[in-house]
Each structure stands twice: as C-alpha cells, then as structure tokens.
Chain A
C-alpha cells in the first residue's frame, strides 16, 4: 500500500541551529501539505503545495521557516534558526489535486522535533 514517507522520525537540535525535514508523498498526489502539531493540539497547516507551486503559506513563519518542492514531488521543510517554541510534531500529508476525489489527505508518520 502506498504511503507518505518522512525523515527523520526524530530530531533533537539546539536552539539557533538549522534543521530540515523531508517528505515524499504518495505517487501521483499533486498536493502536498506540511502541518505542525503541538502536543495536545490538532495539526495546523503551515504550507500547501500544488505541484511545485505554493498555494497557501499564510501560517508559515517566514522569518525562520522555508519550504520547497522543486520538482513537484518530494519536499523539504527547513527551520533556521530553531527556537524552543518550535518543538512539535511536523506532519506531511498528500492528496489528489483539489476537485478530485474529495480532498482525502494521507499522512506520513511525522518528525518529532525537540529543540533544547
């Protein structure tokens, strides 16, 4: 069964360091999402891609976060510099393009980030 892949699964970094997460969506899924989930809360959308283009990054803290999906397949989310408040689970999801098949999103296993 096709799955969304994410790496690393766990990351511990010191404050002010740079960190990067990788996501490989389900093959054929044009839409890719990055979410941040703080412990005890639901996920919140950081950025949405349609192919290689950013559709929505209104909730992305652009002073320190960046995301790219250069070839419209896999994606990287970067934080530089990391802050203590960035400790969270970072989830990647993918779906067919909007308008197709009901927007069902499929999630990866997540990357648990701890900033010390």
Chain B
C-alpha cells in the first residue's frame, strides 16, 4: 500500500525567505504527483502536477521536483510572502492501467510566513 509522508509537519519562516517542503512515497510506481494548497477550512487548490516522466514543473515562484526512483518530491517556494501561509499537501496517483484513481495524500505541511 502506498504511503505518503510529508516533513516537516509545520514550518514557520520570515517573509522573503526561500523554503523547501518535502514529500516522500514508498512505491515508486506512480503515474504522477500533484501538489495542493489548502487554506484553513477550505478545499484543495491544485498548484503543480508532475508526470512520472518529468523531473520538475514550475509555476511563478513555485518549483516542484520529482525523483521517482528515490520516492521523493520537493516543493520550492521562492521569496515567501504572508499570503503563502497555508497547508501544502502532496498526493501521488498510481500507475495506469488501473481503472480507479486511488490517489494517496500526505498529511500536509502547515506553512506560516511571518511579516
């Protein structure tokens, strides 16, 4: 069974700092990996999706990398802002041709960016 772990569980940084969030998974047979943002009491917003054949994806100040063989992904946030404060979750999708999409989530990293 795929297990997804995110470290650290919580992180507090001053505004302007660059930071890295970590995600590890036990089964390297994945189809893709997705990073989400969740604000308190809200739903999930997709940030980046990396296909298993890709090494990284970038969107604005966010960069996600994937090392499938070692079961790791990182989310890099450049020049952090107070508005980046949220919980960040990673999730992995199993390899096709499964009919069901049993996406497995980590518990998330709760990020606080202090002004």
Contacts and interface: CB of A to CB of B under 8 A. Distances in A.
Interface of A: 4, 6, 31, 33, 40-45, 48, 50, 55-56, 89, 91, 93, 95, 98-99, 102-110, 112
B75 interface: no
B102 A108 contact: no
Interface string B10-52: 0000000000000000000001101010000111111001010
B6 to A, nearest CB: 8
Contact of B49 (A33, A45, A102, A109): A102
A54 to B, nearest CB: 10
A31 B45 CA distance: 18
Shortest 7 CB-CB contacts between residues of A and residues of B: A42-B105, A56-B100, A107-B44, A109-B43, A110-B43, A107-B43, A55-B100
Contact of A103 (B36, B45, B89, B93): B93
Contacts of B98: 98
Contacts of B89: 42-43
B33 to A, nearest CB: 11
Contacts of B100: 48, 55-56, 98
A10 to B, nearest CB: 9
Interface of B: 4, 31-32, 34, 36, 41-46, 49, 51, 89, 91, 93, 96-108
Contact of A91 (B4, B43, B49, B107): B43
A99 B32 CA distance: 12
A50 B32 contact: no
Contacts of B97: 99
B13 to A, nearest CB: 21
B49 A41 contact: no
Nearest to A45: B102
Q: Which of the listed residues A42, A50, A105, A107 has the most CB atoms from chain B within 10 Å of its own CB?
A: A42
Contacts of B31: 102-103
